[in-house]
Amino acid sequence: MTVAKGEQGGPPLTGVNILDFSWVVAGPQATKLLGNMGATVLKVEHTGRPDITRHYPPFPKSGPGINRSGTFAIYNDSKLSMTLNLRHPKAATVMERLLRWADVVVENFTPGTLEALGWPYERMRGIRQEIILIRASLMGQRGPFAHHPGFGIMLQAYGGHSALMRGRDGIPMGSSAPWTDFPEAAFVCLAALAALDHRRRTGRGICFDLSQLEASLFLMIPCIIHWAAQESPWPLRDNRHLTACPHGAYPCRGTDRWCLIGVFTESQWESLKRVMGNPGWAEHERFSTAVSRKRNEAELDGLISRWTRGRDADWIVEALQAEGVPAGLVASAQDLDRDPQLRHRGHYVVMDHSETGPVSHDAPPFRLTGTPHRISSPAPMMGEHTERVCREVLGFQQEELSDLIKEGVLS
Amino acid sequence: MDAAMILDSYRVLDLTDHQGQLCGMVLGMLGADVVKIEPPQGDPVRRMGPFVGGEPHPERGIPWIAHNACKRSVTLDITTKEGRGIFLNLVSSAHFIIESFPPGRMESIGLGFHELLRHNPSLILVSITPFGRTGPRAHWASCDLVMMGMGGQMVYCGEPDGPPLRFAVDQSYPLAGIYAAIAALAAHWDRAATGEGQHVDVSIQECVLMTSFNMHVCWEMEGIEIKRQGVRGMRGDVRFRTIWPCSNGYVSWRVFFGNWGRWTRSLVEWMDELGEAGDLADVRWEELQMHSVPQEEIDRMEEVFQHFFLKHTKEELFDEALRLGIPLFPVQEPGELLIDQQLSHRGFWSLIPYPHLGVRLPHPRLPFPLPGMESPLRRAPTLGEHNKEIYCGELGLSQSDLVILREAGVI
A96-144 pLDDT tens trace: 999 999 999 999 999 999 999 999 999 999 999 999 999 999 999 999 9
- The predicted pLDDT at position A101 comes to 98
Q: Which residues of chain B are within 8 Å of residue A239 when distances are taken between CB atoms?
A: 145, 163, 165-166, 168
Buried b (16+ CB within 10 A) or exposed e, A264-300: beeebbebbbebbeeeeebeeeebeebeebbebbeeb
* pLDDT digits 0-9 by tens, A23-52: 999 999 999 999 999 999 999 999 999 999
The confidence score (pLDDT) of residue A64 equals: 95
From A169, A181, A197, A339, active-site residue? A181
DSSP 3-state of A361: strand
Q: Give the residue from A151, A160, A137 showing the smallest Cα distance to B253.
A: A151
Please compute the mean of the pLDDT values over residues A364-387 and round it to a whole number: 97
Q: Is A337 a catalytic residue?
A: no
Does A33 sit within 8 Å of B334, measured CB to CB? no
Q: pLDDT class for B3, splitting at 50, 70, 90?
A: low
Task: Give all strands (DSSP E) within B320-392, no chain letters.
Answer: 329-330, 349-354, 359-364
Cα separation, B135 vs A341, in Å, equals 6
Mean pLDDT to the nearest integer, B94-118: 97
Tell me, what's the pLDDT at B373?
86
Whether the predicted pLDDT of A152 surpasses 90: no
- Rounded Cα–Cα distance for residues B226 and B214 (Å): 9
Say whether B334 and A163 touch across the interface (CB within 8 A).
Answer: yes
Nearest CA to B24 out of B199, B173, B147, B230 is that of B173
Q: Please check the confidence at residue B234 and state whether its pLDDT lies above 90.
A: no
Mean pLDDT of B161-182: 98
Instruction: Read off φ and ψ for residue B188, nearest 5 degrees.
Output: -65, -40
Return mean pLDDT, chain B. Answer: 96
Question: Band of the pLDDT at A3, cuts 50, 70, 90?
Answer: very low
Q: What angle do CA B322, B327, B330 make, to 5 degrees?
A: 75
Q: Do B197 and A4 touch (CB under 8 A)?
A: yes
Residue B1 pLDDT exceeds 80? no
Give the whole-angstrom CA distance, residue A179 versus residue A182: 6
298-327 in chain A: CB under 8 A from chain B: 321, 324-327
Whether A278 contacts chain B with CB within 8 A: no
DSSP B61: B
Q: What is the pLDDT of residues B245-288, one digit of tens each?
A: 999 999 999 999 998 999 999 999 999 999 999 999 999 999 99
| Mean pLDDT for the stretch of residues B202-228 | 97
Amino acid at A13: L
Taking the C-alpha atoms of residue B150 and residue A397, their distance in angstroms, rounded to an integer, is 52
Check whether A6 has a pLDDT greater than 80.
Answer: no
| Percent of chain B scoring above 90 in pLDDT | 95
Does residue B22 register a pLDDT over 50? yes
pLDDT in tens, B317-337: 999 999 999 999 999 999 999
pLDDT band at B235 (very low <50, low <70, confident <90, very high): confident
Q: How confident is the model at residue A9 (pLDDT cuts 50, 70, 90)?
A: confident
Structure confidence at residue A7 (pLDDT): 45
The pLDDT assigned to A237 comes to 85
CB contact under 8 Å between B182 and A226, yes or no, is no
Within 8 A by CB and 6+ apart from B78, the residues are B15, B37, B84, B87, B109, B111
Residue-averaged pLDDT of chain A: 96
Residue of A nearest to B357 (CA): A229
Residues 165-204 of A with CB under 8 A from B: 165, 167-168, 171-179, 182-187, 189-191, 193-198, 200-202
Residue A105, by phi and psi: left (phi above 0), alpha (psi -120 to 50) or beta?
beta
Average pLDDT over residues A182-193: 98
Can you tell me the ipTM of this complex?
Answer: 0.97
Q: Could you give the maximum distance between any two Cα atoms of chain A, in Å?
A: 87
Among B316, B320, B314, B259, which Cα is nearest to B288's? B259
pLDDT in tens, A216-252: 999 999 999 999 999 888 999 889 999 999 999 999 9
Bond before A111 cis per omega within 30 degrees: no
Beta strand A359-362 with A348-351: parallel, antiparallel or unpaired?
A: antiparallel
Q: How far is CA B296 from CA A364, B290, B293, in A?
A: 41, 12, 8
Average pLDDT of the segment spanning B160-172 = 97
Per-residue pLDDT, averaged over B98-114, amounts to 97
Q: Report whether pLDDT(A1) > 50.
A: no
pLDDT bracket for residue B2 (50, 70, 90): very low
Mean pLDDT over residues A204-210, rounded? 97
User: What percentage of residues in chain A have a pLDDT greater than 70?
Assistant: 98
Residue B28 CA, chain-centre distance (Å), reads 15
